[in-house]
Amino acid sequence: MAKPQNLNQKKVPWPTEDAMQQVYAMKLWGGATHDYFSGNGSHESKLVEPYVEVVRLFLSSFEFPPVVCDLGCGDFNVGQHLVQHTQNYIAADIVKPLIDRNTTKFQAHNLKFLHLNISKDPLPKGDVALLRQVLQHLSNSEVQQILEQLKTYKYVILTEHLPEGDFQPNIDIISGQGTRLKKGSGIQVLDAPFHWPVKQAETLLSLKPKAHPGIIETILYTL
Ligand X SMILES: C[S@@+](CC[C@H](N)C(=O)[O-])C[C@H]1O[C@@H](n2cnc3c(N)ncnc32)[C@H](O)[C@@H]1O
Does residue 47 contact residue 201 with C-beta atoms inside 8 Å? Answer: no
- The three-point CA angle 179-183-187 to 5° equals 55
Per CB under 6 A, the list member of 31, 37, 38, 218 interacting with ligand X is 38
> Of 189, 177, 187, whose CA–CA distance to 216 is shortest?
187
- The CB-of-142 to ligand X minimum distance in angstroms stands at 6
List CB contacts of 106: < 8 A, sequence separation 6 or more. Answer: 76, 80, 83, 113
Which is nearer to ligand X, 92 or 181 (by Cβ)? 92
Per CB under 6 A, the list member of 55, 73, 99, 157 interacting with ligand X is 73
Q: Is 95 in the site for ligand X (CB under 6 A)?
A: yes
Q: Is 78 in the site for ligand X (CB under 6 A)?
A: yes
Per CB under 6 A, the list member of 93, 127, 160, 217 interacting with ligand X is 93
What 8-state DSSP symbol labels residue 120?
T
Positions that interact with ligand X (CB under 6 A): 16, 20, 38-39, 42, 72-74, 77-78, 92-95, 116-119, 132-134, 137-138
